[in-house]
Amino acid sequence: MIAKKERGKMERRLSAALTHACEQAKPLLPGFCWLTHEVDYQRFPESLVVTWVFDTHPNLANALKGDARRHIADLTAEALAEAGLDVSDASRHLDFDSEEACEREHGGDWQRRLRTKPTRH
């Protein structure tokens, strides 16, 4: 758990570090579009989930194979460390999705989609 007073600072650090990871990933991962994070600061940092979003399911499936998945985990781990978080296994904080699936299942409403995803931790 993180004190309410520190949440804004942590949120800014997380956003900046993850934005950096996002920009690094775009030229390296075909179909990668953007990422976002969700966190319940009452259960921080174990509740942190970083969702990497690809344009289509085939591009997402390709990214989940082999070296690309490891590269995503490494970029996430570096971003979390940059934000001042010490997590033993960044891959536990990863989720993946696609624009295509959101459009099909939630009419493109990402806020609703992320809100209704099952809790991972």
Domain locations along the chain = 4-116
Query: Alpha-carbon distance 6 to 18, whole Å?
Result: 18
Percent of the chain at pLDDT exceeding 70: 96
Structure confidence by residue, pLDDT tens digits, 5-36: 889 999 999 999 999 999 999 999 999 999 99
Query: Alpha-carbon distance 48 to 33, whole Å?
Result: 20
Higher pLDDT pick, 117 / 98 = 98
Identify the CATH class of 4-116.
alpha beta
Hey, is 95 helix, strand or coil?
strand
Structure confidence by residue, pLDDT tens digits, 61-112: 999 987 899 999 999 999 999 999 988 899 999 999 999 999 999 999 999 9
Query: Alpha-carbon distance 57 to 47, whole Å?
Result: 25
Average pLDDT over residues 51-63: 96
Q: How wide is the angle at C-alpha 41 spanned by C-alphas 78 and 110, nearest 5°?
A: 75
